[in-house]
Amino acid sequence: MYADVMENIFLLVLVTLLSVVQNVFFALKVEKECTGFNSKQHSTAFERLSCANRNCMDTYPTFLAVLWCAGICLSQAPAAFAGILYLVVRQKYFVGYMGQTCQSIPGFLFGKRILFFLSLMCIVGIINHLMLNYGSSDYKEYIQTITKAASTLLLLP
């Protein structure tokens, strides 16, 4: 069973590990800013970083849940690809907050499009499972090909 399971999830595990590394990077940045400006503790830079970090952390469980559901329900390659794109968007968001420029979006939901794509993958996977159960034929192969093609559309700006 072991090899069978691993075959279906190892890309998801890799993306999860990458996101953990990114979380640690964010936390270290906040910590460095916190100890650096110890004299005037509530400096704006620290507050901005801390806010960006909290926004990222707030959506992190949601991201993980959708990523894994999509990967297990349909297929792991497009899900992992979308996950990596999400991490890139998150990095941009955090760096935008760090710099003095105004490129940071105020919203709590960056990467809405990617989360929507992953949710759609879950729903398609469940519908396919139900159709398979109630007697019709299995369209999984076709759906997986379409999903792989569709995931490249996420690269559009």
Residues that bind its own copies (CB under 8 A): 1-7, 9-10, 13-14, 16-17, 19-21, 23-24, 27-28, 30-31, 34-35, 53-54, 57-62, 64-66, 69, 72-73, 106-109, 112, 115, 119, 122-123, 125-126, 129-130, 132-133, 140
- DSSP states of 14-61 as a string? HHHHHHHHHHHHHHHHHHHHHHHT-SSTT-HHHHHHHHHHHHHHHHHH
| 67 vs 151 by CB, closer to its own copies | 67
- Smallest separation (angstroms) from its own copies to the CB of 10: 5
Return the number of other C-beta atoms located less than 10 Å from residue 47's C-beta: 12
| SS3 label, residue 65 | helix
Dihedral sign for Cα 85, 91, 94, 99, please.
Answer: negative
| 23 vs 92 by CB, closer to its own copies | 23
| 116 vs 152 by CB, closer to its own copies | 116
